[in-house]
Amino acid sequence: MISYQTENVKMPSIHRRQTTAWLHRIAVSYGKKVGDIAYIFCDDTKILEVNREFLHHDYFTDIITFDDDEGEIISGDIFISLDTVRSNSEMFHTNYDQELHRVIAHGVLHLCGINDKGPGEREIMEAAENKALALLPSENV
């Protein structure tokens, strides 16, 4: 089950049913099944708090993914800072909704086993994000 929650922000205007179906399609494309995934949309203050408390990092980020996978079943908690998503959409001159969906996909891609911190991994993640966005029905962006 995929749930959508907020902390310190208003729920973004996403089509939850279509987004959930899209996330399932992404998981299946990597041979995975969806277990329990919680998306927590928050502000920069909350993501910094989570980053400091759990990862011992003292900086803002757009997403933090906590993986609780069991074999081919993906589960976890995914924190997304809507403040940073908005800043990134402005900095990269992209549509906010598209940037939000890119970050939503990014979280489930982490749960599917794709990383972005090592050599060459960022390019692999970007290609996976683009592939995932291509699966998104156009009325969602």
CB contact at 8 A, 12 and 41: yes
Distance separating alpha carbons of residues 135 and 137, to the nearest angstrom: 6
Angle between helices 16-29 and 96-111 (to 10 degrees): 40
Q: Which domains does the chain show, CATH number per domain?
A: 2-140 (3.40.390.30)
Residue 96 pLDDT exceeds 80: yes
Per-residue pLDDT tens digits for 4-38? 999 999 999 999 999 999 999 999 999 999 999 99
Per-residue pLDDT tens digits for 33-70? 999 999 999 999 999 999 999 988 888 899 999 998 88
Q: What is the pLDDT of residue 139?
A: 58
DSSP, residue by residue, 37-85: EEEEEE-HHHHHHHIIIII---S--SEEEEE--BTTEEEEEEEEEHHHH
Q: What is the pLDDT of residue 71?
A: 85
Identify the helix (H) or strand (E) that includes residue 34. strand 33-42
